[in-house]
Amino acid sequence: MIDKDFYKNIGPFSLDEIASKVDASVLGNGDKKILDIASLEDASETEISFYNSVKYRHHLEKTKAGVLVVDKSFKIKPENEYLVVDDPYVAIAKIASMFYPDCEYQSFYFDKDDLINSSEKPKKCSQNVFIHKSSRIGKNCEIGSFVKIGPGVTIGDNCLIGDNVSIYYAKISHNVKIFQGVKIGGEGFGFIAKKDFFKKIPQLGRVIIRENVQIGCNSTLDRGSIGDTIISKNTMIDNLVHIAHNVKIGENSIIAAMTGISGSTEIGKNAMIGGQVGISGHVRIGDNVKIAAKSGIMKDIPNNSNIGGYPAENLIDWHRGTIFIKKNR
């Protein structure tokens, strides 16, 4: 369910009401009340979700969504309820705007009445810091200059926040270090490409940062669209790393500088990712994977793999190929 600390839901809506907005056929009870939207893996019986790619079949098999938005080629199960549309991705974007009409108009304006009092700020808090009064900051935190912490944000105990950091739409655990210039909770780069225009996908998720995470200077972590961007515990992120919407990074992982991870990619535990690696969207990378610097990841990677090159392949095969090319120049 979408976090009410950050977004205002004007639902519920009946299935028939939703169908009329997205030109859908209803397979099920049109009077059924839908309370919210959610991702396949998080949806409950009172929520609507969507399925548009075989890459998410593993989530489809386990989903508890009360209604699914699917296309006309989907194999319908009679025991479930559906909205059938031409394009589920376009439809869910419209449904998101139905439930959350303000989601496309993010405000960065703070009135003086929106800020916490100086007496409520952490003891180690520098000058020119803007902290929204609805945010919550734990004990023993240190905050640098020109930091901005938005509405509803929570930050755990013993955290370090460097100069010029911005934090929105985020839940941050204990013992997290966020160095200078980091931007957390920005709007994800999510669009649906149509023939004559780009349809913006509403960004209704959060950034979740677990305990003992470190984030290097000038890195950016976008919030999720429907669902969250999640950084698991003990993960170390270098400078100038970009993590897009809905990315999930497993615990004890390390990511070197200038790496870019595209939206909805899932990375397992104990990953080691070299500098300037580019990872395509909707990719699943297993546990204990090592990726050489400047590699390009364009497909799923199984557990315990060592890979490199562009497009990335088994590291030994990549080295052999490089030697072969050099010998035959």
Q: Enumerate residues 6+ apart whose C-beta is below 8 A from 261.
A: 241, 242, 243, 244, 247, 249, 255, 267, 279
- From the list 59, 242, 245, 282, the catalytic residue is 245
Token pair 């009445």 is found at 113
Handedness of CA 282, 288, 238, 318 (dihedral sign): negative
Answer whether 139's CB lies under 8 Å from 121's CB. Answer: no
- The DSSP result for 10-24, as a single string, is ---EEHHHHHHHHT-
Active site residue 245: yes
- Structure token digits, residue 327: 């010998």
As a whole number of angstroms, the distance between CA 145 and CA 165 comes to 9
Q: Which residue has 């990953």 as its token pair? A: 271
Catalytic residue IDs: 245
